[in-house]
Structure 1
Amino acid sequence: MDDERELVRRGYDAISYRYRDDDAEDGQYGPWLDELRQRLPARGTVLDLGCGCGVPVSRFLVGAGHRVTGVDISQVQVDRARRLVPGGVFIRADATELDLPAASFDAIVCLYALIHMPLRAQPGLIGRMATWLRPGGWLLVTVGSTAWTGTEDNWLGGPATMWWSHADDATYRTWLERAGLAVVGEQFVPEGQGGHTLYWARRP
């Protein structure tokens, strides 16, 4: 498991700027973030899990007046996030080892990050995320649409190997519901020959 996490950490350290530059637009994230903003209270608290360089999620939410804590496994990504989004708080950590207080957040955003974590650690993390949400809090997460684990060398034309591991969307729905979350939205997000599934889930 440590080797898998190390591949991801080294990979994003190496290709951070290839993955997203400082001035990247909100792109496909824009409609999701607009919807999240409508669901959040004023001055809400948000955990951006797998925050990358802080763009666009943390930047958008801080700009909308929310208090954001970002977590990422890559030191390069965290350093960039601190520079690009000075109004947020950013921590370098392995998300699967996080220990946060219960009922700390009005929302958790985890976009294209859970799928970089060891599959056997994902159900437990989803369960902990549910406890970190306040009652009525939202989880916005992208997961795998079909089950797959594998690597890609020279990902994005960079010098590093990247690694992914994900279940299928039905399994993720089961894990979300077992964590006590109500799934209120599901959307297929195409990418290349396949795609991901976006879930909106809420703590009752």
Structure 2
Amino acid sequence: MRIFLSFHGADAIPSIDKAHLATLPPKSKVLDLGCGAGIPIAERLCLAGHAVTGVDSSARQIEIARERVCRATFLQSDMMTVDLPVSSIDGGAAFYSITHVAATEQGLLLSRIGEWLKPAGVFVGSFGTGSAHDWVGKWLGTEMFFSHNSDAVTFDFVRQAGLQMVRAEVVQQDNEDARFLWIVARKMN
């Protein structure tokens, strides 16, 4: 299953999505951080039989997600402050959302993800490449906040969160002039 297909095209981010899904036990509890309207990530995870909780700060996006992906649970909340139980998820996804969190807070967010994951739980997420703290730019037709750390700092944050790197890959977007660092990591026991 290619969970990026509808947004990125058939060749985007080779096998990272498969690596994530293949390691999830059937009927896993999966968190989609920055879920937007729930498509394609929450939708595809639900179709694969997983119990999905999506989190997004936009009331409108959550409203749309609830209409489009009725089998998932959606919470309107900032991903930095959402309250989730420790060791409550088998998998976590953050596709194109962590870049909208201040670089100085991304380590804390990864630590929270590490706390939410069950032992051996899997996280896959995209990060900006190279250091670019706090800037605003146009994306998807609107002004948005962006921030990211160097790859080395991001790798350190992943390790400090108790996650073991499974795979890291910088991928050029096929539909825009941008590169993202994709990370698959597993919570250490």
| TM-score, reference length from structure 1 | 0.82
Going from structure 1 to structure 2, the CA distance change for 1:29 and 1:88 (only over 3 Å counts) comes to farther
Residue from 148, 156, 169 that aligns with 1:174: 156
Structure 1 position 125, deviation (Å): 1.1
Residue from 129, 137, 155 that aligns with 1:152: 137
Distance in 2 between residues matched to 1:42 and 1:152, nearest whole Å: 39
Residue from 184, 195, 203 that aligns with 2:166: 184
In structure 1, the partner of 2:42 is 58
In structure 2, the partner of 1:126 is 110
Distance in 2 between residues matched to 1:30 and 1:83, nearest whole Å: 30
1:48 correspondence with 2:45: no
Structure 1 position 25, deviation (Å): 5.5
1:100 correspondence with 2:84: yes
Distance in 2 between residues matched to 1:50 and 1:147, nearest whole Å: 21
Distance in 1 between residues matched to 2:24 and 2:115, nearest whole Å: 18
The alignment partner of 1:42 has SS state of: coil
Q: Which amino acid aligns with 2:182?
A: L
Distance in 1 between residues matched to 2:15 and 2:62, nearest whole Å: 25
Do the aligned residues in 2 keep the contact of 1:26 with 1:56 (CA within 8 Å)? Answer: no
Going from structure 1 to structure 2, the CA distance change for 1:25 and 1:193 (only over 3 Å counts) comes to closer
The alignment partner of 1:65 has SS state of: coil
| More moved, 84-93 vs 33-42 | 33-42
Distance in 1 between residues matched to 2:7 and 2:152, nearest whole Å: 31
Structure 1 position 50, deviation (Å): 0.5
The alignment partner of 1:55 has SS state of: coil
Distance in 2 between residues matched to 1:200 and 1:60, nearest whole Å: 18
1:114 correspondence with 2:98: yes
Structure 1 position 199, deviation (Å): 0.5
- Consecutive unaligned residues in structure 1, runs of 5 or more: 1-23
| TM-score, reference length from structure 2 | 0.88
Distance in 1 between residues matched to 2:7 and 2:105, nearest whole Å: 32
1:39 correspondence with 2:27: no
Distance in 2 between residues matched to 1:119 and 1:106, nearest whole Å: 26
Q: Which amino acid aligns with 1:179?
A: A
Distance in 1 between residues matched to 2:7 and 2:118, nearest whole Å: 30
| More moved, 30-39 vs 104-113 | 30-39
Structure 1 position 120, deviation (Å): 2.0
Distance in 2 between residues matched to 1:105 and 1:30, nearest whole Å: 25
Post-superposition Cα deviations, 1:66-107, rounded to whole Å, max 9, x if no partner, equal 000000011111111111111000011001112211110000
- Consecutive unaligned residues in structure 2, runs of 5 or more: 1-5
User: Which has the larger helix fraction?
Assistant: 1
Q: Which amino acid aligns with 2:113?
A: M
The alignment partner of 1:87 has SS state of: coil
Post-superposition Cα deviations, 1:28-75, rounded to whole Å, max 9, x if no partner, equal 368433332211001000000011111111000000100000000111
Pairwise CA RMSD: 1.9
Q: Which amino acid aligns with 2:119?
A: P
Distance in 2 between residues matched to 1:37 and 1:179, nearest whole Å: 21
User: Which has the larger strand fraction?
Assistant: 2
Do the aligned residues in 1 keep the contact of 2:20 with 2:123 (CA within 8 Å)? Answer: no
The alignment partner of 2:91 has SS state of: strand
Identical counterparts, % of pairs: 33
